[in-house]
């Protein structure tokens, strides 16, 4: 059977606006998917809905689609997206209105049932992660455009594949293969050289968006349209497979994919074949993303220039101690960021930043804590006093938490183009999620060879990201000898040494020999999630690159 060609045109809310047209005109496709819903996006859409009950969906998608709806219809390309966010029915109706204005005969369907906000008092948004069979029902019902709310990112691929090939629940290996393909596609150009550790190996100034040629057996080839920028190789696909995952089991509502079974091989220029994927029954529970208002946050960054940086920082802390003690915020955090250099050639490179962040449930508290006291130091503090921007009254911030409900407690409904409502049954067979037993490690390199102190990134790639308050850091080797060294060298203890922030946090190492990779999860390093802005890099996007910059004793044979 001819493979189903599924492309991606969006990896987040705000991605390249022209990508939908680029993908429609760049080559042959059957289905185009767009992913818009990060954890933070759900909070943004919830705040939009507070101002306008008719909002709650990704408005940028509607503008993209209006520009390309006729083109998609002419080419027979179906579009599947989670841009419906908190209001998939509302977005579906806006699409119908746009199609009517444009005179394009488009059949629109949507999926609902994920909204559990009413069951979580005080939440701005609480949504279950649904699987792909609601999407499949919409496509089988004749839809040209399918809009969903909160589904798993991979469901945007598993749904079309199940509809096209006639897969049913329980075909674990086929579904797992589609989940892996969907995970590679979901972040758009991260599969084609974007945000890639070895980006200098190709032209990534404007990488093309990826597509997957999915077979009836669940195997696939990851590629991109001819002539587009970026590149697809085993490394770019490995990096994305490790992104925001953890161990050998990758759980979803339809299937648990065994990432430890994935095998990759180069299948020609810009083509990587994924095969060998095994699947298991999904867990009995669905994940629910709960977004709440966490309180209010205020910040000021003092610029410290030239000599005596540490003493200047101490002075500011002492001067603000009384003001912070009079009306103490619930949380006070100081961070001295040493960006300064000795004998610097510019003032900016001679300067460090001292950041003060305060949080409290009361906006007045965070406003009083900084607004007056910090600015009153302007003529009475360290030499060269200035700040990046004056503090304000404080801004609200959100917190994210994951909850779980039985699959049977959520009714997924596919609303077909003719208005019929089809209830999508949960998986009949489930399996509690368990960690995969640690696989055997490769033989270590022969001992006693010469070593050199050098950055880890000379022999390993990495990609990192966030899941709620936790971070994951995937690290992979590009040669078998480098893997033999990495698997024994980069233990949980060594990771804690190289990433001091993790020393008092739970760190778990997962070994994926087929990918020559290690995947670390660091519990709690991001506090209450990205919206809380707990640390300098609130989504841990660069945590892997920091790890690659750390120095170890590396065998010279690998360098």
pLDDT digits (tens, 9 = 90+) for 174-206: 999 999 999 999 999 999 999 999 999 999 999
Binned at pLDDT 50, 70 and 90, residue 170 comes out as very high
Relative to beta strand 421-424, strand 460-467 is unpaired
Residue 110: closest CA among 416, 430, 541: 416
* pLDDT in the model for residue 533: 72
pLDDT tens track for 331-341: 999 999 999 99
Mean per-residue pLDDT for 213-232? 98
Share of the chain above pLDDT 70, in %: 99
Query: Do 331 and 272 fall within a single domain?
Result: no
Instruction: Indicate whether 372 and 456 sit together in one domain.
Output: no
Nearest Cα neighbor of 238 from 426, 463, 531 is 463
How far is Cα 499 from Cα 508, in angstroms, rounded to an integer?
A: 13
Sign of torsion over alpha carbons 66, 68, 59, 413: positive
> Are 420 and 513 in a shared domain?
no
Q: How far apart are CA 160 and CA 30, in angstroms?
A: 9
Q: Which of 172, 167, 110 is nearest to 143 (CA)?
A: 110
Q: Is residue 546 part of a domain?
A: yes
* Beta pairing class for 256-258 and 263-266: unpaired
Residue range 73-84: average pLDDT?
A: 98
Angle at 292 between CA 289 and CA 294, to 5 degrees: 135
State the DSSP string of 343-395: T-SSTGGGEEEEEEEEEES-HHHHHHHHHHHHHTTTTSSSTT-EESS---S-E
Residues 527 and 489 in one domain: yes
Residue 298 is part of which domain span?
290-393
Q: How far apart are the C-alpha atoms of 309 and 303, rounded to whole Å?
A: 10
Eight-class DSSP state of 57? S
Is 104 domain-assigned? yes
In this prediction, residue 397 carries a pLDDT of 86
Q: Express each pLDDT in 131-149 by its tens digit.
A: 999 999 999 999 999 999 9
Residues 127 and 225 in one domain: yes
Query: How far is residue 501 from each of residues 163, 472, 491, 550, measured CA to CA in Å?
Result: 46, 14, 16, 14
Say if residue 534's pLDDT is above 80: no
- Cite the DSSP H helix spans in 243-362: 309-326
Helix (H) or strand (E) holding 165: helix 155-165
pTM: 0.94
User: Residue 269 pLDDT > 80, yes or no?
Assistant: yes
What is the C-alpha end-to-end distance of the chain, expressed in Å? 46
Confidence label for 35 from pLDDT (cuts 50, 70 and 90): very high
Which of 122-126, 395-399, 489-493 has the least mean pLDDT? 395-399
CB contact at 8 A, 50 and 93 = no
Coil, helix or strand at residue 400? strand
Residue 253 has pLDDT above 70, yes or no: yes
* Average pLDDT estimate for 389-412: 91
What value does the mean pLDDT take over residues 400-410? 94
Specify whether 462 is located in the same domain as 379.
no
Is residue 532 over pLDDT 70?
Answer: no
Mark whether 273 and 313 lie in a shared domain: no
Residue 261 lies in a domain: no
In our burial notation (b when 16+ CB lie closer than 10 A, e otherwise), range 156-189 reads bbbbbbbbbbebebebbbbbbbbbbbbbbbbbbb
Q: How confident is the model at residue 391 (pLDDT cuts 50, 70, 90)?
A: confident
Number of H helices, E strands in the chain: 13, 26
- Identify each DSSP E strand in 60-107 by its residue range: 78-81
Does residue 51 belong to any structural domain of this protein? Answer: yes
Contact (CB, 8 A) for 333 and 324: no
How far, in Å, CA of 196 to CA of 210, rounded?
A: 14
Residue 169 lies in a domain: yes
| Total count of domains within the chain | 3
CA distances from 118 to 86, 89, 114, 121, 510 (A): 13, 18, 11, 6, 37
- In terms of average pLDDT, the best of 90-99, 338-347, 430-439 is 90-99
- If pLDDT is split at 50, 70 and 90, which confidence band does 242 have? very high
CATH number of the domain at 356, please. Answer: 3.30.70.360
Tens of pLDDT, residues 428-459: 999 999 999 999 999 999 998 999 999 999 99
Distance CA 211, CA 127 (A): 28
**Taking each helix axis from N to C terminus, what angle separates 155-165 and 133-140, rounded to the nearest 10 degrees?**
40
Judged against a pLDDT cut of 90, whether residue 369 lies above it is answered with no
Same domain for 17 and 122?
yes
- 336 with 272, same domain? no
Q: How confident is the model at residue 538 (pLDDT cuts 50, 70, 90)?
A: confident
What integer is the mean pLDDT of 315-344?
A: 92
Q: Locate tokens 């809009």: which residue? A: 147
Please give the Cα distance from 255 to 130 (Å, whole number).
12
Residue 437 lies in a domain: no
pLDDT, tens digit (0-9, with 9 covering 90-100), for 41-55: 998 999 899 899 999
Quote the mean pLDDT of the chain. Answer: 95
Residue 535 is predicted with a pLDDT of 74
Is pLDDT above 80 for 529?
no
* pLDDT-based confidence at residue 273 (cuts at 50, 70, 90): very high
Residues 81, 184, single domain; the answer is: yes
pLDDT of residue 530: 67
Q: Phi and psi (nearest 5°) for 542?
A: -105, 10
**Does pLDDT of 29 surpass 80?**
yes
Q: How far apart are CA 259 and CA 242, in angstroms?
A: 9
Residues 337 and 243 in one domain: no
Q: Tell me whether residue 443 is in a domain.
A: no
Q: How many CA atoms lie within 13 A of 414 on its CB side?
A: 25
Position 274 pLDDT exceeds 90: yes
Q: Is the pLDDT of residue 7 over 80?
A: yes
Q: Residue 164: what are its φ and ψ, rounded to 5°?
A: -70, -45
Residues 108 and 232 in one domain: yes
Element (H, E) at 109: strand 108-112
- Looking at the domain assignment, is residue 510 inside a domain? yes
């Amino acid at each position: 059977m001819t493979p189903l060609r599924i492309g991606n045109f969006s990896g987040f809310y705000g991605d390249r606006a022209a990508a939908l047209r680029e993908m429609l005109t760049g080559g042959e496709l059957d289905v185009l998917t767009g992913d818009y819903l990060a954890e933070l996006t759900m909070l943004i859409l919830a705040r939009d809905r507070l101002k306008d009950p008719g909002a709650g969906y990704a408005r940028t998608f509607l503008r993209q689609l209006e520009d390309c709806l006729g083109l998609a219809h002419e080419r027979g390309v179906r579009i599947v997206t989670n841009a419906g966010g908190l209001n998939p029915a509302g977005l579906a109706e806006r699409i119908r209105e746009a199609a009517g204005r444009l005179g394009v005969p488009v059949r629109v369907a949507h999926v609902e049932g994920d909204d559990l906000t009413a069951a979580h008092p005080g939440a701005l948004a609480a949504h279950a992660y649904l699987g792909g069979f609601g999407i499949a029902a919409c496509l089988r019902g004749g839809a040209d455009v399918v809009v969903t709310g909160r589904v798993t990112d991979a469901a945007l691929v598993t749904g079309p594949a199940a509809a096209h090939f006639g897969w049913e629940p329980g075909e674990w290996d086929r579904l797992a293969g589609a989940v892996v393909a969907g995970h590679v596609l979901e972040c758009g150009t991260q599969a084609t050289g974007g945000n890639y550790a070895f980006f200098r190996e190709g032209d990534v100034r404007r990488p093309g968006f990826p597509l997957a040629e999915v077979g009836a057996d669940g195997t696939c080839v990851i590629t991109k349209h001819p002539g587009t920028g970026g590149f697809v190789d085993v490394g770019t696909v490995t990096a994305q497979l490790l992104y925001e995952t953890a161990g050998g089991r990758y759980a979803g509502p339809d299937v648990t994919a065994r990432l430890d079974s994935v095998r990759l091989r180069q299948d020609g220029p810009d083509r990587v074949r994924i095969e060998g994927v095994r699947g298991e029954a999904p867990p009995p529970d669905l994940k629910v993303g709960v977004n709440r208002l966490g309180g209010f946050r205020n910040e000021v960054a003092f610029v410290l220039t030239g000599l005596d940086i540490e003493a200047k920082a101490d002075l500011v802390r002492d001067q603000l101690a009384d003001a912070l003690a009079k009306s103490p915020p619930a949380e006070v955090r100081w961070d001295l960021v040493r960006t300064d250099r000795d004998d610097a050639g510019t003032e900016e490179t001679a300067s460090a930043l001292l950041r003060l962040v305060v949080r409290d449930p009361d906006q007045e508290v965070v406003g009083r804590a900084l607004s007056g006291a910090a600015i009153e130091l302007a003529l009475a503090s360290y030499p060269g006093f200035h700040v990046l921007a004056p503090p304000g009254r404080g801004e609200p911030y959100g917190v994210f938490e994951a909850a779980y409900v039985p699959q049977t407690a959520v009714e997924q409904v596919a609303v077909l183009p003719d208005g019929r409502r089809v209830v999508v049954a949960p998986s009949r067979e489930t399996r509690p999620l368990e960690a995969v037993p640690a696989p055997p490690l490769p033989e270590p390199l022969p001992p006693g060879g010469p070593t050199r102190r050098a950055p880890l990134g000379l022999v390993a790639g990495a990609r990192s990201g966030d899941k709620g308050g936790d971070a994951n850091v995937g690290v992979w080797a590009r040669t078998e000898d480098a893997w033999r060294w990495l698997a024994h060298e980069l233990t949980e203890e060594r990771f804690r040494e190289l990433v001091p922030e993790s020393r008092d946090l739970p760190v778990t190492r997962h070994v994926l020999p087929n990918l020559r990779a290690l995947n670390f999860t660091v519990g709690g390093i991001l506090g209450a999630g990205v919206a809380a802005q707990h640390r300098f890099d609130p989504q841990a996007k660069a945590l892997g690159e920091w790890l690659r910059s750390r120095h170890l004793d590396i065998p010279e044979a690998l360098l």
